[in-house]
Structure 1
Amino acid sequence: MDELINKRINEVLKGNQDSFEEIVILFQHRLYHVCYRMLGSREEAQDIAQEAFVRAYSNLHTFDQKRKFSTWIFRIATNLCIDRIRKKKPDYSLDAQVPGTEGLDMYSQIAAAEDLPEEEVERMETQERVQYEIGRLPEKYRSVITLRYMEELPLQEIADILDLPLGTVKTRVHRGRDALRKQIGTM
């Protein structure tokens, strides 16, 4: 896979812009999912994933082909997500009351899947709750938890993506997991 990517990169650097489209196709879904899990918004995830590809294309000449392209593009996207998180204030709380209603909160606005068995509904609610709680983590924990448990990346690759020492990544995974456990409490 890395050989194919490096071949396409060389073609792009020689002027064949169509080869970059193949790279985008290979990584677009995984990159979008990383962004979505960090930001919790489909629109923002699409914007950031697109911006990551634009930046990668613009800076392709700086990519060290001895390294993995996936690590490089995930680093770009993760940094863009972190920047977005830092600039953004929380939009709303799920506990907040919906304007113009009597006692309905934002939880009631989450789409219900009525035709699913009870176990599937519980699983979906748990996943939504975990995703919500991950979104509440400080960004330094959110990024490592997302990359480790949602994208199932190895610790060393996470360290490369975030440009952090491996020990720092291990510590943040541990502390992020503890913080997440405390936030969730007993589900």
Structure 2
Amino acid sequence: MTEQELVERARKGDESAFEVLVTDNEKRIYNLCRRLTGNPEDAAELTQEAFLNAWRGLGRFQGESSFSTWLYRLASNACIDFLRKEKRRQNLSMTVSLDDEEEARQVELPDERYTPERELERTEVRQAVAAGLERLTPEHRQVLVMREINGLSYAEIGAVLGLEEGTVKSRIARARNALRKVLTERGNFFGELSSRK
């Protein structure tokens, strides 16, 4: 059954169809939330909130984009709202992890191709980028995570955020410059952040 057929059935109240949509998208949405918030518990809660909002909003879903893109937008918006509230509270340390669970397990396995020194360098780079991302605005962090970590195209990011492609490109350029500035200030600038165009 296609995604569109599942959405149509879910709109008519078919909970099992919606459950399939959740299963198909939950890992990707959780990873987005985790990377934006840096906290597994917050990510799980925001993932649940995104799916709840999707269930409640199915009647308003126009189908102009895919369901998964629409869901990505709902989750992204929930995370940005959360980060803004948390920033106002100033009582939560936002730490961004650039590793997902599978990568973390791979790092634990010995890899003969890399020396311990090289592994330490990579760890330090990840930590420097994570600390740099933490200092960016939620909007800049959002577009960098979507582009550099999740690998979304400019068009996909534009669809998720409701922005023109040119606006997405300029926002990403400003976010890269902001991250470069943070890394330079801390003595951690290690070259171009991305060669992806």
Q: TM-score, normalised by structure 1?
A: 0.81
- Map 1:27-106; keep pairs closer than 5 Å: 27-89=25-87, 90=90, 91-92=92-93
Residue 56 (structure 1) shift: 0.3
Counterpart check, 1:163 vs 2:162: yes
Residue 66 (structure 1) shift: 3.9
Counterpart check, 1:137 vs 2:119: no
Partner of 2:20: 22
Say if 2:29 and 2:72, in contact at 8 Å, map to a contact too. Answer: yes
For 2:94 and 2:6, the matched residues in 1 are separated by: 44
For 1:115 and 1:4, the matched residues in 2 are separated by: 38
Counterpart check, 1:153 vs 2:152: yes
For 2:77 and 2:24, the matched residues in 1 are separated by: 20
Residue identity opposite 1:43 in structure 2: E
Residue 79 (structure 1) shift: 0.7
Q: TM-score, normalised by structure 2?
A: 0.77
Q: 1:16 to 1:181 in 2, by over 3 A?
A: same
For 2:94 and 2:163, the matched residues in 1 are separated by: 32
In structure 1, the gaps of 5 or more residues are 95-112
Say if 1:145 and 1:176, in contact at 8 Å, map to a contact too. Answer: yes
In structure 2, the gaps of 5 or more residues are 96-106, 111-115, 189-197
Q: How many residues align?
A: 167
Residue 7 (structure 1) shift: 1.0
Say if 1:37 and 1:131, in contact at 8 Å, map to a contact too. Answer: no
Residue 143 (structure 1) shift: 1.0
Identity of aligned residues (%): 37
Residue 115 (structure 1) shift: 8.1
Partner of 2:181: 182
For 1:114 and 1:75, the matched residues in 2 are separated by: 33
Partner of 1:97: none
Cα RMSD over matched residues?
Answer: 2.2
Say if 2:6 and 2:21, in contact at 8 Å, map to a contact too. Answer: yes
Residue identity opposite 1:174 in structure 2: A
Say if 2:54 and 2:71, in contact at 8 Å, map to a contact too. Answer: yes
For 2:94 and 2:145, the matched residues in 1 are separated by: 21
Greater Cα shift, 124-133 or 149-158: 124-133
